[in-house]
Chains A and B, each alone.
Chain A
């Protein structure tokens, strides 16, 4: 197990991404942050906080549970649903920024795009992730990346956040040989 991103780097990456989001969208008037539970939701809250501080007004933030849109439901045991939270003002005509912790196969994001379509019709959808570990199985890429981390498929990237794990860090684990 090795630490891929310590707390100080997570904080730095989030500040940088906040600025990039404002820069790319020429301000923050039209943006809405949608976090993908569990940890993406906390990251979205943090980004919204930082952007609000920089811009001086509140950024709408919500969560998007994508469980019911997954394409691998039949392959795994049942997952309990996570309460989803609609952002104030909805997403119609807004620039929606999806936030997740790790970008891997891209299947979660595909499901999230479907789920967004049920909520409304955003003007654009962008993607922010803390870690991009490669191994995409779908034509999906992130607009904002905290850190690109080359991995092998058998490794596991674990994001820990203080809100739920008591500590901020990203660790890279090699799967144990059984």
Chain B
């Protein structure tokens, strides 16, 4: 087991290096907007996975963080007139603060109640966004300018915008990777596996859960804020519970509790939605539902999880 772990550990930097290079050259081969969408949702799913995959907490309200950060970023950039990087930071902080409020309430219960509380609170956020004039109600926040990064680099150029998104993704991914592979991440895993035991070992479980929740919310917000700049729009779909379900699906399909799974899942779902949108129209929801059911019944390890298992089995032979 130790031997195999170290094999993985040695292969990981190489894999990340290759992926990083692919990420650098990708916009010259593939439509950048499509890539940016994948990276935004990939970061969103990675942030979600930090909570479900490593702390074992199923939040069914993560759309609230994605969406509210998007709105905050949009309002900052469009109505206050700050530069894009300030907008992203502002959105991230706002989502983190909201995450703290939701987290404080939700961690008072566990398991299924936790999921229901996060869902209900995110629905509350949805209604606030819907009714508040500043967020544009049904229309959402339209015409958000991309602006100039640091006041210098013009982001209306898609390639420039792509590299900003890529940088944001890498920063977010690095933070998550560090968090998982730190003592903090180990404690989260301990809580996931056996909470009473973690308590009896003297860990302040509630505090660690809350910290994980805030971190996850803030990073989901970072994804949402960036997404608003890419599409120049913050819309109600970003705060709707369907979005909360979608990020669960991405994470589940890619591989729960794996480092790269959420990105793979996000890429798969986004590609699928893009491909299917024209051909099947409203059946997309049905297809998402079917994938959900298949994942839960037959494919619980997800794409990356299955691949890892395959490699491990090959390693044994």
Same complex for A and B? Answer: no
Please report A residues at the B interface, Cβ cutoff 8 Å.
none
